[in-house]
Amino acid sequence: MILAFDTSCDDTAVAVLKDNGDYVNLIASQVEVHSSLGGVVPELAARKHAEIIAALTKEAIREAQIDMDQIDFLAATVGPGLLPSLLVGVAFAKALAYSHNIALIPVHHIEGHIFAPFFGRDITFPFLSLVVSGGHTHLFLVEGVGKYQIIGKTLDDAVGEAFDKVARLLGLGYPGGPVIDRLSKTGDPYRFKVPQGLKHEKGYNFSFSGVKTYVKNLVNSMGGLSKSDVSDIAASFQRASIDILIEKTLKAAKEYDVSIVSISGGVSANSYLREAFVEAGTKYGIDVVLPPSEMTTDNALMIAYRASFMPDKEATSRLCLVEAKPSIRVGEGLI
């Protein structure tokens, strides 16, 4: 039985994972706090985490119909993320660990995303993992738990960041992903030729910083935008950005001779991505594994799930060694 926390960014997340696979997965969103400010304000995010984390934990324990003394392990995201936010979750988990004498398992947030698509199904190694979120666009070759090779990543903006920036340029608010996803359904994805960074470069790196300049110039040159102009820009941007992710990931799967590709992180909630990735995978004989929708954006169930693979001896690490850090080494890379 694991009680887990994720406060890496702007959502306070608490989960209970029972040994029979049943779970409670609670998320207190702060979107209302940050949306009017155009993005996440770290100091405000940390304050909100501090206000709600104890009550949310009580609620998770109540919904799971358990007592604190039934918890075998605690788990908390120690990084990467916003340091003020991380500190709240880590300090809270440490206090619980100390007062209830329960081992605390430190979890890398991105490892949580990497394994989330496999929750409730068997994991077969090796697989390629594409993590696409507001802070990351990373392609990993995963050969086992703890064995990751970064084979590609964005050289500038993350793809989720591009969704957020394009949405801001179109006056659609924060976060941009869900609203661009929705508007794209009525837009023409072929009206504008949105640039696909590094399309013709060798290797599997990505670049999304050119997109916002392109959209900015487009918006300025068009003067006023009609509703359909906005939907067409959203759809064209979405198609170009997702298509390059699919193209490079499937090319990497071929080169690395891997037949399983998983996609996770907030952008894996995108409906076009989900449909187009599965369709392309089927065409090339690749099994495309996506997380259940409640495990796409940040959540603590993925942290509990990742912690469940941790050998017991690692879990008993002394509390003073569990530290929040804005970036942490995974394999040979710092992310």
Question: Which residues here bind Zn ion, judged by CB under 5 A?
Answer: 133, 298
Site for ligand KG4 in 265-294 (CB under 6 A): 265-267, 269-270
Q: Using the minimum distance from each CB to ligand KG4, give the nearer residue, 89 or 266.
A: 266
In the complex with ligand KG4, the residue whose CB is nearer, 73 or 163, is 163
User: Based on CB atoms, which residue is closest to ligand KG4, 152 or 266?
Assistant: 266
Q: Which residues pair with 17 in a beta bridge?
A: 2, 23
Cα 116 to Cα 13, 104, 110, 301: the distances in Å are 15, 20, 10, 8
Residue 217: CB minimum distance to Zn ion, A: 30
Query: Considering the complex, what minimum distance in angstroms separates the CB of residue 79 from ligand KG4?
Result: 11
Residue 180 CB, nearest distance to ligand KG4 (Å)? 6
Per-residue exposure over 52-75, b if at least 16 CB sit within 10 Å of its own CB, e if not: bbeebbeebbeebebeeeebebbb
270 binds, among ligand KG4, Zn ion, none (CB under 5 to 8 A by kind): ligand KG4
Out of 79, 175, 189, 291, the only residue in the binding site for ligand KG4 (CB under 6 A) is: 175
Residue 134, binding choice from ligand KG4, Zn ion, none, Cβ under 5 to 8 Å by partner class: ligand KG4
Nearest approach in angstroms of CB 135 to ligand KG4 is: 4
The answer to whether residue 177 forms part of the interface with ligand KG4 (CB under 6 A) is yes
79 part of the interface to ligand KG4, by CB under 6 A: no
- Of 9 and 97, nearer to ligand KG4 (C-beta) is 9
How crowded is residue 231: how many other Cβ atoms within 10 Å of its Cβ? 22
- Candidate ranges 24-32, 132-140, 191-199, 249-257; the one touching ligand KG4 (CB under 6 A): 132-140
Cβ neighbour number for residue 118 with a 10 Å cutoff: 18
Assess 187 for contact with ligand KG4 (CB under 6 A). no
The entry of Zn ion, ligand KG4, none that residue 164 binds, CB within 5 to 8 Å by partner kind = ligand KG4
Name which position in 112, 134, 195, 291 contacts ligand KG4 (CB under 6 A).
134
Q: Which residues pair with 6 in a beta bridge?
A: 13
Tell me how far, at minimum, the Cβ of 15 lies from Zn ion, in Å: 14
- Residue among 6, 111, 164, 232 that touches ligand KG4 (CB under 6 A): 164
Tell me which residues touch ligand KG4 (CB under 6 A): 9, 133-135, 160, 163-164, 175-178, 181, 265-267, 269-270, 297-298
